[in-house]
Amino acid sequence: MPATPLLLRLSQPLSLDGGGTLPDAQIAYQSYGVLNAARDNAILVCHALTGDHYLAGPHPVTGKAGWWDRMVGLGKPIDTDRFHVICANVLGSCMGSTGPASIDSENGERWGMRFPVITIGDMVRAQAALLDALGIDRLHAVVGGSMGGMQALVWAAHYPERVARALVIASAARHSAQNIAFHEVGRQAIMADPAWAQGDYDPAGPGPAKGLAVARMAAHITYLSEEGLTAKFGRQLQNRDAKTFGFDADFQVESYLRHQGLAFTDRFDANSYLYITRAMDYFDLAEEHGGRLADAFAGSAAVRFCLVSFSSDWLYPTAESRRIVHALNAVGAPTSFVEIDSPFGHDAFLLDVPALDAVVAGFIGRSGT
């Protein structure tokens, strides 16, 4: 599997939903498998909030396997012996695509908080421009979990002629008030860190690491479930026999969250976290159609859909997937839906859940374009 990122600078300024354009946008991406002569075996996998384009094989930053290595590869559910798989780092991120840590070509200065606020639609528009440059007119499938699922929905709603099937895992058609609230806590933690300096910090330095770590800790809780936390940690103490009656990490779950927060600051940019969470908060696929979600899919009747939710996911619960299914049924789009029983919460789509493997392999592997 490749480890060196592929980079594409868009030939035209990218139009943005918030108004204006973004000049000289660069998209980092990875590809796996071979594009066939008919150019109809391409699958676009869209990553989640803090993910990147390293789907499979060794990750050059973390040294670990790519975030969906168990799902993408030879003989795996998304089989690279059959399909040409592409994953692009989203616009606004810090893993190679243009974001707030990038240099503004017009003045040679880092964008910082001058970077325009972006949307999920803008991310997909950049992906569409990437596929145009790669000569891929139509996708065998677009696949995504969490924020990646939001991108998959936008692909199916805005570019139905370019998508044969859409697999949406643990996602929603709009961000709820509760989700927005959690994101705001994280953003405020970052902006309250004196090292944030109104976003004018050096991304190569420590920056607002304390605030970003707290933001990650708060978000990480939403990716888990009470059942999973209890089974893994319960109220077990961390490397001690008794409580300290202080504010050290007495409990294993406290130590775990602190580790997750600190590890995150080594690989992610705080400003990117602000921008991407805001993009998710703005996401509401029905909003541009007077609040009627079915109308967003009015042109998607030819796209095959598969929706997957997890029983213990309270971030994007099953009710959110059912809402999408009802909207798709209303326009006659061929749709399948499954709720998978799992104790792992929202993060189940990243973990070893054999039932998900079977769903992905079955849906992706269907014949026809």
Catalytic residues: 146, 313, 346
CA-based nearest residue to 310, from 78, 152, 146, 151? 146
Furthest C-alpha separation in the chain: 67
Segment (H or E) for 307: strand 304-310
- Nearest-angstrom CA–CA distance, 178 and 175: 8
How many CB atoms sit inside 10 A of residue 331's CB? 16
CA-based nearest residue to 29, from 14, 42, 38? 42
For 225, the 3-state DSSP assignment is: coil
For 112, the 3-state DSSP assignment is: helix
C-alpha 301, offset from chain centre: 25
CA-based nearest residue to 170, from 362, 294, 350, 331? 350
- Nearest-angstrom CA–CA distance, 43 and 91: 19
